[in-house]
Amino acid sequence: MTALALLGYISAALLAQVVLAIAVAIHRKGSTSGQGTAANRRRDAASTAAWAGLRAFRVLRRDYEDDALSQCSFYLEPVDGRPLPPYRAGQFLTVQLELCDAQGIIRPVTRCYSLSDCHDRQAYRVTIKRIPPPADRHDLPPGLVSGHFHDHVVPGSIVQLRAPAGSFVLDGEPGVPAVLIAGGVGITPLFAMAREALAKQPDREIHLFYGVRDSRELVFEAAIDAMRAQHPNFHVTIVLSNPAPGEVEAPNCQTTGFIDVALLKRTLPNGGHHFYVCGPPPMMASLVPALRAWAGAHDAVRYEAFGPASLASAEAVSAMPLDQPLTVRFSRSGRTLSWTGEETNLLDFAERHGIDIESGCRSGSCGTCETTISAGEVRYLQRPSFDIAAGRCLLCVGTPIGDLELDA
């Protein structure tokens, strides 16, 4: 090999090393920026993931939605300023407050309110109806929280919220017409579902049946009119049960009376629908079983009740006094009590005996009252909205089958 050839080999080797080094550097740079993108993606995902426990929200604004001034929307933005996780229309927020009971003692109170609009990254909206307090004395009467919101929660107020939850959501079958049936304030999750369906399943046939006493109780009227004008596949039937003079002829009244299967059969003669129902206990108790009988398939009817044990009668199960009382032991509280069958659920039973159990929806939807069963079994007056792990139970919709021991 000549000196010239040797010099050529050395130069070629050096050049190859330089090219290799540049290639490695470019590759590393690419990898690093790729990791950065993944990290950013992870950070973005974390910032919009559902949070655990409570998160502080500030009331941005509040608007009455009805002429009767009984239903008020609250717009809630996170105090930490981070984007909100997405939710499915039909889900609810759990609110935790501390309020004075009838004895003036401050107690934690938990309630669930449906989200009343589809997802917005900046703020959540819930629409709360003022519930008149019952005449009889009660430590934490049912209207306490809604009254607190109406009377004291104003722009700037801070409330503590758990992340959106619930399984009362639209199916992903755009080929099947969806029938949304709302009674009173039951419109809140169904209005959100209608908005989501029209945005995400624009070709789906959506029927909204909305029952109220008179037009003063109608909410989201302008928005519903705009949706109807914009989407020919969105059909609205407003049903007034007690119309004021002149309201029957008004454009926002399609019929009078109550929403029942006869009305649905007249309006939806072809069948083959999926039904979503949310309304007060009497409506749920009559409509849900009748719809199931008409639809044939159990899964074709989905519902969310508001108020405790709303569907107890719909499921044809009711609390029955027992000949022989059962023993229910709350082991952590150190209490052993007699269950005589006069209560409709274990949550009411525990509270009546002064045992504090955290609760939210009181209707088997939020999981707040989920408790470990140490011994025994529980049956449900109404089917919980989600599967419960073995060895656990929901006290708000559960009753004991025999002697029972709970870790509470």
Give the residues lining the site for ligand FES (CB under 6 A).
359-362, 364-369, 394, 396
Determine which helix (DSSP H) or strand (DSSP E) holds 255, and give its type and residue range.
strand 255-256
Buried b (16+ CB within 10 A) or exposed e, 273-300: bbbbbbbbbebbbbbbbbbbebbeeeeb
Helix (H, G, I), strand (E, B) or coil at 23: helix
Give bridge partners of residue 74 from the DSSP assignment.
Answer: 62, 126
Decide: 77 and 142 in contact? Cβ < 8 Å: no
Question: How near is the Cβ of 362 to ligand FES at its closest, in Å?
Answer: 5
Which CB, 237 or 344, lies closer to ligand FES? 344
Which CB, 164 or 367, lies closer to ligand FES? 367
**Which has the closest alpha carbon to 361: 394, 324, 320, 405?**
394
Is the torsion defined by CA of 186, 187, 191, 194 positive or negative? positive
Question: How near is the Cβ of 120 to ligand FES at its closest, in Å?
Answer: 25
Question: How near is the Cβ of 375 to ligand FES at its closest, in Å?
Answer: 21
Pairwise CA distance, residues 245 & 338, whole Å: 54
Which CB, 263 or 366, lies closer to ligand FES? 366
Which CB, 301 or 366, lies closer to ligand FES? 366
Which CB, 258 or 386, lies closer to ligand FES? 386
Question: How near is the Cβ of 142 to ligand FES at its closest, in Å?
Answer: 14
Question: How near is the Cβ of 312 to ligand FES at its closest, in Å?
Answer: 14
Pairwise CA distance, residues 279 & 304, whole Å: 8
Decide: 75 and 60 in contact? Cβ < 8 Å: yes
Residue ranges of alpha helices (H) inside 261-345 are 261-267, 281-295
Which CB, 98 or 323, lies closer to ligand FES? 98
Which CB, 238 or 404, lies closer to ligand FES? 404
Tokens of 37: 């993108």
Pairwise CA distance, residues 134 & 152, whole Å: 20
Which CB, 96 or 256, lies closer to ligand FES? 96
Question: How near is the Cβ of 384 to ligand FES at its closest, in Å?
Answer: 7
Question: How near is the Cβ of 359 to ligand FES at its closest, in Å?
Answer: 4
Buried b (16+ CB within 10 A) or exposed e, 235-261: bbbbbbeebeeeeeeeeebbbeebbee
Question: How near is the Cβ of 333 to ligand FES at its closest, in Å?
Answer: 18
**Which has the closest alpha carbon to 281: 306, 255, 245?**
306
Pairwise CA distance, residues 240 & 248, whole Å: 8
